Structure 1
Amino acid sequence: MIAADAAWWLIAGVALVALLYSSVGHAGASGYIAVMSLVGLAPEQIRPAALVLNILVASIATWQFRRAGHFSWTLFWPFALLAVPLAFVGGYLDLPTRVFRILVGVVLLASALQLVLRPPREGAIGTPGKPVALATGAGLGLLAGLTGTGGGIFLTPLLIFMRWARAGTAAGVSAPFILLNSAAGLGGNFGATQSLPGFVLPLVPAVLIGGYLGAHLGSHRLPHAAIKRLLAVVLAIAGTKLLFA
C-alpha cells in the first residue's frame, strides 16, 4: 500500500514526467522509475508499472507525431524489426543491471552535455545502412527490456547525432519504437512473473493528460531547437536516475 500523501506525489510526478518526455517523442519510463523509487515502491513492481504507463503515453505520442507528419517508415522499420523480440527477451530476463545502468547513465549525461554545449549542426541527413540499423535496434531493444524502458531515450539522440534524422523526425520515429518495445518488454515480464501491479490504475488518467499535452506541444508547437533543448533535459534526468538509482 502507498500512503495517501505519497500517492498524490506519485500521481503529480508521473503526470509531469509524461508531459515533459512526450514533448520530445518519449514515453517517460526512466522518469516513472525515478518517481516510483522515490516513494519507496519495490523494484519488482516498478518495472512492469513503468512499462504500462510507457505504452499509454507512447501511443499518444505516436498518434500526435504521425498526424503532424514527423514519422518515417523507411527509417523506423530497420531499427524496430529485431528490437521488439529482443525487448521481450530482456523483459523476461532477471539479470543484474547495475553495470548497464552505469554505462548507459554516463552515455545519456554525455549526450545531454553535447546537446547543450555543441548542438548537432543542421545539414544533410543521411540514411543508415540496413545492417547497422538492424544491429543497433537489436541492442537497444535488449537494453530496453532489461532496464524497463522503451529504448527511445537511446534512439533519439543517436538519430540526431548521426544525422540520420532531424529532431522532429527523430521524435516521430522514437515514439512507435518505444510503444512496440514497451509492449514486448511488458509481455516478457508478465510471462516471467504472471502479475501486474494494481497501484498503476490510479496513475492512468494522470499520464494520459500529461502525455496528450506534451505530445501536442512537441508535435505542433515546438521548433527543432526547442525539442533539442528539452531532449537535453530529459537525457540529463534519465542519466542521473540510472547512475544513482
Structure 2
Amino acid sequence: MYLEIFVFFLIVSFIYSSVGFGGGSSYLAILAMYSLPHQEIRLIALICNIIVVVGSVYIYVKNKQTDWKKILPITIVSVPMAYLGAIVKISQSTFFMMLGVSLIIAAVLLWIKIDGSAETPAKDQKSDIVKNSFLGGGIGFLSGMVGIGGGIFLSPILNLMKWDVPKKIAATASVFILANSIAGISGQLTQLSGNMLNMKILYPCLSVFIGGQLGSRISVRWNPIVIKRVTAVLVFSAGINILIKHWNHIY
C-alpha cells in the first residue's frame, strides 16, 4: 500500500506543482481508495499540500511573480474561513459527496479554455478588494470543509476573470493554497482523536517533496495549458470514481 501511495503522490505532486497547485484534491481521491478515516485523509492531504506549495511559492517569489497587493485581499479573508470550514463536523458520507462534486466542478473550471492573448490583465482589479475578499473567503470555507488548499478552484476562476497574467495567477494560487492548508490543519487537529501511524504520513510527504520540487522548477518555463487539461481529466475521473464508490453510503 505505501509503495503505491508513494508512486501515485509523486506523479500527482509533479503535475500539480508545475501549474501552481498543491494537489490536495487528488491526494484525497487516492487516499480514499484505501478506506482511511476521512479525518486522517484530510490531514494528510493538507500536510502534503504545504510541502508542495512551499517550493512553488519560493520559486514564484524568487522570479518576482507574486503581486502581494493583489494576493493579500484574497488570502487574508480565506484563512479564518478555511479554519471555520475545517472545524465544521460532517459525516464521512457527506464528506465524500462534497469531495466528489467539488472535484467535478473543479475539473470543468480547469478544462475551460482561457483566451491565450490574456498575457496582460483585461483590467486593473487592484482596487476591487471586496470582490477579491468574498471570492477568497468562499473558496477558503469550502476548502476547509473538504480538506484542500483551494487553488484548484481559485486559479481557473481568476483566469476566467482575466485577473492577471497566468503565471501571476499561478503564484497567487500557490500562496492561497499554503495559507489555507495551514489554517485547515489547525482546524483538523481540533477534531482528530488518537495517534496516526507515522508511516501514513512519512511516505506521502517524502513523495510529494520530490515531485513538488521537480514540478515547481519547470513551471516557470512550460506553458501550463496542456498540463491543466491533463489535470482536469485526472480530477474529473477522481470525482466520478468517488461518487460511484460511495454512492450507497451517500444515499
Interval of TM-score (by shorter of Structure 1 and Structure 2): 0.7 to 0.9
Between 92-101 and 41-50, report the one with greater CA deviation.
Answer: 92-101
Distance 1:44 1:132 in 2: 32
2:51 matched to 1:62?
no
With over 3 angstroms needed to count, the CA separation of the structure-2 counterparts of 1:191 and 1:149, relative to structure 1, is: same
Q: How far off is 1:233 after superposition? A: 2.1
- Of Structure 1 and Structure 2, the greater helix share is in 1
Q: How far off is 1:81 after superposition? A: 1.3
Aligned pairs for 1:50-129 (under 5 A) are 50-95=45-90, 96-97=94-95, 100-101=98-99, 103-115=101-113, 119-123=114-118, 124-125=120-121, 126-128=123-125, 129=128
2:201 matched to 1:200?
yes
2:234 matched to 1:237?
yes
With over 3 angstroms needed to count, the CA separation of the structure-2 counterparts of 1:82 and 1:243, relative to structure 1, is: farther
> What are the Cα deviations for residues 41-77 of structure 1, in whole angstroms up to 9, with x where unaligned?
3322211011111111111111012212221112201
Q: How far off is 1:127 after superposition? A: 3.5
Distance 1:93 1:127 in 2: 36
Conserved? CA contact 1:105–1:242, under 8 Å: yes
> What are the Cα deviations for residues 121-149 of structure 1, in whole angstroms up to 9, with x where unaligned?
42441233111101111001001101100
Q: Name the SS of the counterpart of 2:219 in structure 1.
A: helix
2:141 matched to 1:146?
no
Q: Which residue identity lines up with residue 242 of structure 1 in the other structure? A: G
With over 3 angstroms needed to count, the CA separation of the structure-2 counterparts of 1:65 and 1:13, relative to structure 1, is: same
Q: How far off is 1:32 after superposition? A: 0.8
Where in structure 2 are there 5+ consecutive unaligned residues?
243-251
Distance 2:225 2:151 in 1: 14
With over 3 angstroms needed to count, the CA separation of the structure-2 counterparts of 1:40 and 1:77, relative to structure 1, is: same
Count, aligned residues: 233
Seq. identity, % = 25
